[in-house]
Structure 1
Amino acid sequence: MIQNTERAQTTKVIQVPKKYYSANEPMGAKDKNGTNHTEIQKRNWIFNRKKLKIFAGTTAAIAGTAVACAVVASSFSLGYTVKVDNTVVGTVAAKSEFYEVLDEVKTEVKDIADVEFEPSGKESFQVELIKKDSFTEKEELAENLKSTSEEMTEGFSITYDGVYFAALPTQEDAERLLEQYLAGFTAGNENVTAEFAQEVKITPTHVVKDTVKTADSVYAELLAGKFVSYEVQDGESLEDIAANFDTTAESILADNQLADQTSLAGQTLKIYTGEPVLSVKTVEHVNGEFEIPFATISNEDDTLYQGKTEVDTEGVNGLKFVDSYITKIDGVTVEETVLKNDILKEPVTQVERVGTKELPPSVGTGEFAVPTSGTLTSPFGARWGRMHAGIDLGASTGTPIYASDNGIVTEAQFKNNGYGNFISIDHGNGFVTYYAHCSEILVSPGDVVAKGDLIARVGSTGRSTGPHLHFEVRADGEAQDPMNYIK
């Protein structure tokens, strides 16, 4: 700055009119009128320096103002401070941002609580110069908006993979609830660890007062499993609906607290999906001795009726020592890491004769054969707090499926529900068997089949997480444990 000022002064001196100073005249010389030119030069020099100082100061002030304006322009912008009933809820760059968040809050509250959300008062906007990085985030603006309504209160929501599940009054309640739920999967076994397979979060938020629940009630919902809403159509029976959702009419009646199924058309029912609300992954360290199931060799014997078996050599289970880690999701094994598998005693193979003599057509024996070769992946009975009406046999896609007993095919089609490709066989003695999730159906309604006839192939159609056969045995319409009838 000093250098610039000196240059300006030098320039100003050079421009002084010659009548005040001549390079040929000695300093201090006087003209014929007695005027001292040196004094004139000094006075003009001082005068010019003052003008330069004034000019430089003005220029600096203007430059400083310009810089300040530039800083403001780069860091600030015009926006709005939003108030609801004189309460500041946030700042936005445009009014449309506020109304967008308001619409999202209305939709969220409607979906969760079936309540029409309205702020406590009228919104107002005040134009202000606002720092660009200090505009209110959408999530904060939404929470501030919710807090203005008398219908809302503070709570802690539980979500899984971003989906709202429930709200509790305190964070401690929510944490204790989730810990209690996970503890049910370890059953005090130190060799089992459990964690959520989904992204489960506890978030402080504002919720409709009536939706805040106790930990006990939410825990009961977790044990009950996931439900969907279904509106009953004209002409639909409860049995039709139950079949579509792989459940029973009795379960639907109980879940909806209905005494009977009359006049259901138009009603909205809650239907259990067979899935848990929160998915859990467990890892179990297995270390110890376990039985090895014996194999069976079956030889055909045409002197025995179909379904009859005579054992020539009794099978004996073997024994092995296993050290492994088994990973399950919702009770279904998805991975096993074997560290050690030592055979301590070999099993003895069972040898038996199986009858091939034909029975009268369509009459079942009452004893059922395993319908496919595979591994039992899910037994009959309670699963995630609900009833599993059959058994699941895991096998590769295309594995043959056989009629479990003699009978008549009553249904063979794709059902647009959880069963997928589906076959039903009436065995003529009060028993009916179901075969679901087939990749291929090889029989037609009305076909007479004998036990062991090829009827389909294993697949994963319908509501299925992998290739398997869902097999059911029903006696007079009631689901039975197939393992009690399989011989």
Structure 2
Amino acid sequence: MRSGSEVARNLLSSKRPLYLGIRLHLARSAASAAGEQGVRNWVSGHTRKWLNARWTDDLLRSRIAAHIAVILLIALVITFANRSLYMLPLAEGRLARLILLTQQISSVPAAFPADTRRNESLLPSGSIAQDDAILMRAAVPSTFMPALRPRAEITTYVVKPGDTIFGIAAQFGIKPETIMWANGRFVEDNPDLLRVGQELIILPVDGVYHQVGKGDTIEKIAATFKVEPSAIIDYPLNNLDKDDPQIQVGQWLIVPGGTKPYVPRRVVAYEGPIPQGANKGTGSFGWPASGSITQGYWERHRAIDIGTWEGAPVTAADSGFVVAAGWDGSGYGRMVLIDHGNGFQTLYAHLKVFYVKVGDSVAKGQKIGEVGATGNATGPHLHFEIRQNGSQRNPFGFLP
């Protein structure tokens, strides 16, 4: 009978191949696990090193941040676009309900008369179209513009910065001349010399505001301003008795539609003989200064104003000889008048200085002075006139 130790040795001997196989498998598994762990550790370590190296690169970080921002922006746009498309039917539904409510209100009888013509122009019949339960307003090809109410009283206007006679006249729907004729000779002769805070009389209609003088009659006033006497008598603000109209000295009258004759400013020119060898004009005019047109030619300003910097050169528009050079007290300030010997004269006003004297012969393009702001001028500019046989002409018709 075998002992226990022999039995154990025999068992191990008989199972030895299996035992060795198990040990070999376990060893291989351990080696494989160790290898995989080593690979993971290697990959993790190198990946960490790569990210650390790259993240310290400022350019790479900027690119990544820019890409993320672009992606977020695209996502926001898509989100809001979908939201807008979703809300569009709701907005159209609200619009339809508003239109229907407007029609219902307009169909209710008013407590006082309404302008049915105006309502029809704003809400024409058949202006609502239905499509898939959504009501939409059809296009209305006309727009109703209410007419300005005529004023029935004289208004006082206070000049603000930037105001001009033309702008104020347009604001009240009257002509610039009406404002000029109602506010004294100074405004009439110098419409560009408004002062901030100055009070202007604004008539309710175009015409003349006249103060009755000694010897005036309604007939004389009407003839002076070229209207019929009835225009003065029948105007309500004049408060005249139509059967027996009486006027008093000092009384102010509105002359609707009246006009005042233009009285040009005059200068005293040289009337002596033409100097020997004086240049004669070519008949072709050139611009006397460079700048921008600040005021054009019109009934109460028969010249053009060229705005530019003080001291800018002023040149003769054509050849001729100087017949006036000096100070003019009527508003021109320092001025030069050139006779071109062919029926034309040119006048240059508001000069800072002038370089010619009476009797000098000048050539076309010759410097005769500098732009200034003398006389009745609010800023540096050249006041330029062209006169033909004593009549002031529009310079735009003669300049290139």
TM-score (normalizing by structure 2): 0.36
Rg larger in structure: 2
